[in-house]
Structure 1
Amino acid sequence: MPVVNMPNPKTVPSCSKPQVHNGWIRKSDLDAWLDRHLPVPTQVISNEEYVPIPQTGRQRLLEQEIVANAERQAGYLGMDRRRFLRTSCGMALAFAAMNSVFGHFFRLEAAELSDPAAVAENKARFFIFDVQTHHVAMPNQAPHADQDFLKAVVGMRDMARKMNPALKEHGARIEDAYLENYIKEIFLDSDTDMVALSALPGTSEETDVLTPEVIYKSRTWINELTSSPRVISHGYFSPDLGQQNLEYMHAQTEKLKIDAWKGYSGVARAKGKQGWRLDDEKLAYPALEYSRKKGIKNICVHKGLPFPGELKWWSPMDVTGAAMDFPDLNFLVYHSGFKGLEDAFPAAEDGFRKTSYIPWVSDICSWQKTNPQVSNIYMEMGSTFAMMVSSSPLLAAYVLGMIIDAFGPDHVLWGTDSIWWGSPQWQIEAFRRLEMPDQLMKRFGWTPLTDDVKRRIFGLNAARVYRVDPEAKRNPMPGDYIEKLRRMYKQSGALAPSNTQYGWVPA
């Protein structure tokens, strides 16, 4: 299908032409120059840790469809295009455009393009439990935080402005990743009911940008603000440290009353090590035995989406041995072991005719199919779903179908990796509307993505795993939450200014 470059819709740009840096342009700067603030992403962006695949012809066509159709629809409704694209009807139009470009993947009624009431009427209500969210600590909470990590966070937020129209209006700042904005984007700007606040990787406890102690405080403050259970918290474990790790786990268990452990098998804290395996009987098993002894059943491990370095540490296959040896613990495979879009995209573009193999996800799914007696492995979709559904809805549906077929619909968990990418609302809307294509159901014998299946994935599965009541009353965030949060922060003793100066100076 021939694709032409999308013309600049503005006759007099309000922003200067974006600068090129070593062949790269900030996506947010380009969007601002072109006034191209779209409700759904139309290009894979980089967080500066990897080189993204180029924008595809279909994605360029999608941009054109959304812009042209939004211009017409906005005029019909008597508003400008930017305002229209921020409405629920604008979001619906974006998914209509995706159906036009990629094929019919998203449930949609024509009335939703012009009537907000129709959008609300067709919006199924789900209990949404996001098991992968993050923020970073305030400077006084983590005075020695890894500055390179914080700069990477700002970079991710800046580039994520492509995915969220709400992020377009101002440049990314590290303050956007603090608790105050985390509350806004998770609990006010999305339909999320409950979250797990998850630990972040770091090479030492001292330089962590989000320590378990800060997670504990955030959990306590948010639950106090709403007078209801809205947050559970993760502790951090790093088995490569041996006895030191066990002591650290014990301190967290006794002081912080954590709900689960989070580990990054490709990030070693012990000197001379590059990573660790969950099936290592000498290093990891003592940590798992300690967790069993303390009644902490959930072990969350980042698998797939590898950081720079050796790939072997990020493969999910070491989870299988640990799951068999510790059947009373739950193993939550974060990112579902998805190796990366670049490895998976060619198969989807070919319609899975040459191969249906998706690196690492297919491996663990095949293992599960041959070991159906193992029932304590759960697949989490954070970032993986967002990357796939915005690039190839067919790939997203295929990977979801493969995981559901192997593990069952009651062993898939909803996660978004927010706050890095802004509010998770567009991801929620994408999954709410996504349908399993007939071609995949006929070829592989899969079943539809019914509301019942989505209800389990969105939240009921996580509620069971974390032993929380999905029917419990959860109060909304109060209107004066910022004032109350700041009061809590002051009462915690973190009063002194950090004197941190954000920004750049000449070298």
Structure 2
Amino acid sequence: MWVRKCEVDANDEELSPIPLEIASNEEFIPPPQTPGQKAVAERLKEISEAGAKKQGLNRRDFLRTGSGMAAALLAYNQVFGEVYDVNVEEVYDQMAFKEKWPKEQFIFDIQTHHVDVSRKWYDDTPQGRRTIAFFLMLRQGKDDKAKLEQLNRAHYVKELFGDSDTVMAVISGVPSREWDKNPLPPDQMVATRKYVNDLAGSQRVLSHGLLRPNLGKKEMEEMERQVKELKIDAWKMYTGAELGEKAWFMDDPKVAYPFWEKTRKLGIKNLCVHKGLPLGAFNEKACTPHDLEKAAKDFPDLNFIVYHSGYRGGFWLGQGTGEKVVDKKTDDPQEIPWISDILRILKRNPKIKNIYFELGSTFQQISSANPTRCLHMLGQMIQVAGADHILWGTDSIWGGSPQSQIERLRRMKMTKELQDKYKYPELTDEIKNQIFGLNAA
């Protein structure tokens, strides 16, 4: 019998400010906690008990505070070494935590989502029912309607702009063959852009359009409509989404290149592509990043922004449909499937400057499971691509407010051991500010 994670969380007296496990989508057995995550959970219990007692709070309320976040970061340091900039005083004193809070930091989240709950797009098809089952898993509520409402536009505004330090965002979407079966089709994405910008009285949200080259020539007309009528700001696409056709590749001269030529004429130069994370739903081979090399060289004036940084993910997250991809087994700590494939592309093509890494979901997963591995990831990205080619994204609001992820990157620091052995640079405030928003601005 499945128990929804949100229902477990509702009764959890020790809910960590940093997720210490991955939930299942009810089609796959979720991956177990890593030994490191288990050790962090044990240390966090001890640290939070002491901090809560000092501040006169119960442990659950304590863990919701800044000091609770400090306790989680301290627990990670005790397990993984000095990977976060935190001290014990912050656990006992809320003001000590607040004193480290950056002032006027520009955070531009280029991967955010919500669901259009005004249409029952999910009732008519098996895919729609599977999608809604996944969404319902994410939240707690008295019934399915109440759970789904927590992924609506109002919650998007609250969790992204009210409950986090995010300043700007890009509203993104997921693929479908028919827009009336889509959780948030392009028209609704740009409606959210207008809603937030009108509310703020300034430009706070940009909008993706959704592009499906494997649908053929008729997609050219839809492409033009989204640019000219909806005035979308960039494209989002999923090479692994078959949509009743075949999966496709970015370097296919017959399927993809006519669209790159068309978007060049339309003036949209940012191509945001889902790579990695097949999620049990997308064509596995088409989610690999090998097709980026030729496409980036053939269209040097277009930007290929690799969502999730191409990270394969573990367990069911890294499994897809169609031909299976077998990764070479290695103990090399620098090898991170399939991020390392992109790094190799850039190493052998130093003139390629139009491939960018976006961190959505990937930073969340890796910094939670193994922050040392996260440092290997960031260190290599900076060495090979440059700090100016890493873009902040969180995949919110699927997992709630992105504030926990923001705090982790703010506090993350390159260990001396990794600097000495691999020559990684320090994660300076300047580099973090680039990643958080200046690169995407």
User: Structure 2 length as normaliser, TM-score?
Assistant: 0.91
Say if 1:354 and 1:304 are closer, same or farther in 2 by CA, change over 3 A.
closer
> How far 1:287 moved relative to its partner?
0.8
Higher Cα Rg: structure 1 or 2?
1
Contact 2:36 2:370 in 1 (8 A): no
Contact 1:128 1:458 in 2 (8 A): yes
Say if 1:424 and 1:402 are closer, same or farther in 2 by CA, change over 3 A.
same
Helix, strand or coil: the match of 2:439?
A: helix
> How far 1:311 moved relative to its partner?
1.2
User: Structure 1 length as normaliser, TM-score?
Assistant: 0.79
Equivalent residues in 2 for 1:224-243, closer than 5 Å: 224-243=198-217
2: distance between equivalents of 1:291 and 1:442? Answer: 45
Matched, 1:151 2:154: no
> How far 1:36 moved relative to its partner?
2.3
Instruction: Give deviations 1:166-214, integer Å, cap 9, x for gaps.
Output: x799997111111011110000000000000012122322311111000
1: distance between equivalents of 2:431 and 2:141? Answer: 34
Contact 1:266 1:307 in 2 (8 A): no
Corresponding residue to 1:189 among 150, 163, 169:
163
Contact 1:141 1:214 in 2 (8 A): no
> How far 1:342 moved relative to its partner?
4.6
Matched, 1:358 2:332: no
Matched, 1:409 2:387: yes
Say if 1:343 and 1:324 are closer, same or farther in 2 by CA, change over 3 A.
farther
2: distance between equivalents of 1:443 and 1:222? Answer: 46
Matched, 1:250 2:224: yes
How many residues align? The count is: 424
Show the counterpart of 1:340.
313
1:339 aligned partner, one-letter code:
R
2: distance between equivalents of 1:89 and 1:449? Answer: 23
Show the counterpart of 1:128.
107
Show the counterpart of 1:262.
236
2: distance between equivalents of 1:186 and 1:129? Answer: 11
Matched, 1:38 2:16: yes
Show the counterpart of 1:376.
354
Question: Which consecutive residues of structure 1, in runs of 5 or more, have no partner in the other structure?
Answer: 1-20, 159-166, 346-351, 464-507
Say if 1:237 and 1:344 are closer, same or farther in 2 by CA, change over 3 A.
closer
2: distance between equivalents of 1:169 and 1:336? Answer: 37
Helix, strand or coil: the match of 2:181?
A: coil
> How far 1:49 moved relative to its partner?
5.5
Helix, strand or coil: the match of 1:256?
A: coil
1: distance between equivalents of 2:399 and 2:160? Answer: 11
Show the counterpart of 1:93.
71
Matched, 1:206 2:180: yes
> How far 1:438 moved relative to its partner?
2.0
Say if 1:169 and 1:369 are closer, same or farther in 2 by CA, change over 3 A.
farther
Show the counterpart of 1:394.
372
1: distance between equivalents of 2:213 and 2:167? Answer: 32
Instruction: Give deviations 1:68-114, integer Å, cap 9, x for gaps.
Output: 22122211112221211111111111111111122210001332112
Corresponding residue to 1:310 among 283, 293, 306:
283
> How far 1:148 moved relative to its partner?
2.6
Say if 1:170 and 1:402 are closer, same or farther in 2 by CA, change over 3 A.
farther
2: distance between equivalents of 1:397 and 1:343? Answer: 24
Matched, 1:462 2:410: no
2: distance between equivalents of 1:367 and 1:333? Answer: 13
Corresponding residue to 1:445 among 414, 423, 426:
423
2: distance between equivalents of 1:460 and 1:254? Answer: 28
